Structure 1
């Protein structure tokens, strides 16, 4: 969210709409709600800020000033307070109402404090006309539309609560208006995958990578898809490697790269155990192939551990690789590390 406009702007602008109740009483309520909302937001107490922004919006609306920007602030506050459903409802209403957040702001710098404040248009014009020495640097600015951001946030919120079909509908609506929005494109891929439309997801990823081959997340997502098919394991390894090259601390890419190299080890062990009873020579071949896979995975597992030394999965996998590759010193080191992590987690 952008920096919130100063609460003084609310107080001054509200006076122009205070016809339905006593101006002093209304202004006092607005000042109180405004102060609580802004203070709570600046203190990152978003659960308190959200309802106060709604209260502020309702106070102004009841007196003829439909300032939906405060509902936008309320929605953002709810999202940051992890009140996802409340945020979804507000963002949905804002999109349906056609809200874009575009405003004409009238600002001036206070001579005494040097602070730039937003003013009501009539007050701004009057002060400028009379040549007030209390203010300088009078400016009129048009704010940017926040509609793309609303589409992005709402899409992400819907994906977080697993409303994937709804998310996909919002994303596609947003992309029809903002076809080059990279975040919506990214969320589209996630939604397509979550709704089981993997072919479309794969197409989406390849289109994005053609436009931007330096996106580690898309290389990672491509690798995940490729790793689910035995015939494209080599491609998956290459995709995960590209993701890591672009983002060296990409833990999930390190993890999946190791798993892709090792392959389905449970299946391999079952095959070896079955062959031991019927074909000892072939079982030996399978055992050697398994050792080769673990040896190949070793440097990547060590890299994963370096990136995330407190990740118990990284430690456990590395321990297992050291067991298979017969490195007792390292096995003991990883066992001690594993025990320490397990103990600290209790």
Structure 2
């Protein structure tokens, strides 16, 4: 699950109401001030509906500005109100909102930067000698952040199919967006689309082959198919090479090497009923798999000597490979750990 992290910077916007709209102007000013005060006080539960109130006042007076809806969306998201935040982010993306604004500034005789609306700025630029350094600048688009945040909201609320569709749409517009690429793998995995998840991981490994987590994730996917078990072993070993204390990689390497133990035991029992020689061969093959897994299990235990699963697994492997002395030592260690848990 992706933790929602926002650089909670809201956007500013300003409107001038006509003289006849004094009542609407007063209501807007009051709602916007209440929203800003609440936001600055980190009272996001109050800020969000007040930003929406300001938005609705503007909309009712023919001056709709999605900036206030954007600010409300941020406030809801920071306050972990996922349903309301999701609704607003969906609306902003559907409206192709970018948050881009053009600012018009100039320096006065004291060297102070002053802001103007476009009409006044244009007039001063053409006629006034009191101002210099006229600049017209456009603020960056927030559209990529809309996709990133909504993808996170979808993933956190387990709307995985929606997350996949949104991320694919976002990457078609912003193909180099690192966050969306990262979220894409998570979304594919959460939605059960392991083939696409594996493709994403391989693309990431092609760019950064020293990422232990990606080697581990690739190994997990490969281990789900017996046909790619050997590839999974390679991936887990690569993860461990890059991160020697990677306990989960050792765990998965052990069980991938052993294989489907339940199926193996069932097959041995069935075969023994009709063909003892064939059954004995299967037993020897099983023991060989456990022997191969032994050094990985020992390394896992070395990394996590207090882990009951690591101790129990190593005990079973020693037992099956007929190392009775070490099996007894692990049995004693297991009893010690289990006793601690019951205290």
> Taking structure 2 as the reference length, what is the TM-score of the superposition?
0.71
Query: Do the aligned partners of 1:258 and 1:300 also contact (CA within 8 Å) in 2?
Result: no
Q: How many angstroms apart in 2 are the aligned matches of 1:237 and 1:243? A: 10
For 1:213, what is the secondary structure of its paired residue?
Answer: coil
CA shift, 1:148, in A, is 1.5
Change beyond 3 A, Cα 1:119–1:223: farther
- 1:293-344, Cα deviation, whole Å (9 max, x unpaired): 44233244236637xx7xxxxx23212123223354554445444554576x
Query: Do the aligned partners of 2:301 and 2:310 also contact (CA within 8 Å) in 1?
Result: yes
Q: Does 1:2 align with 2:31?
A: no
- 1:5-53, Cα deviation, whole Å (9 max, x unpaired): 58xx66xx35x2475343455423321222113322xxxx654543343
Query: Do the aligned partners of 2:257 and 2:289 also contact (CA within 8 Å) in 1?
Result: no
Change beyond 3 A, Cα 1:62–1:196: same
For 1:35, what is the secondary structure of its paired residue?
Answer: helix
Query: Do the aligned partners of 1:101 and 1:147 also contact (CA within 8 Å) in 2?
Result: yes
- 1:187-213, Cα deviation, whole Å (9 max, x unpaired): 334444555544444334333332333
For structure 2, which runs of at least 5 residues remain unmatched after alignment?
1-5, 107-111, 319-325
Q: Give the counterpart of 1:91 among 79, 89, 92.
A: 89
Q: Give the counterpart of 1:239 among 224, 235, 240.
A: 235
Change beyond 3 A, Cα 1:25–1:245: same
Q: How many angstroms apart in 2 are the aligned matches of 1:118 and 1:250? A: 56
Q: Does 1:145 align with 2:125?
A: no
Q: Give the counterpart of 1:179 among 175, 182, 203.
A: 175
For 1:145, what is the secondary structure of its paired residue?
Answer: coil
* 1:58 alignment counterpart: 56
Stretch deviating more after TM superposition (25-34 or 330-339): 330-339
* 2:294 alignment counterpart: 295
Aligned ranges for residues 225-236 of structure 1 at < 5 Å? Answer: 225-236=221-232
Query: Do the aligned partners of 1:240 and 1:257 also contact (CA within 8 Å) in 2?
Result: yes
For 2:9, what is the secondary structure of its paired residue?
Answer: coil
* 1:203 alignment counterpart: 199
Query: Larger radius of gyration, structure 1 or 2?
Result: 2
CA shift, 1:93, in A, is 0.8
CA shift, 1:227, in A, is 0.5
Q: How many angstroms apart in 1 are the aligned matches of 2:177 and 2:280? A: 57
Stretch deviating more after TM superposition (247-256 or 261-270): 247-256
Query: Do the aligned partners of 1:148 and 1:174 also contact (CA within 8 Å) in 2?
Result: yes
Change beyond 3 A, Cα 1:300–1:32: same
Q: Give the counterpart of 1:323 among 315, 323, 326.
A: 315
- 1:224-252, Cα deviation, whole Å (9 max, x unpaired): 22111112212112223334555667665
Change beyond 3 A, Cα 1:323–1:299: closer
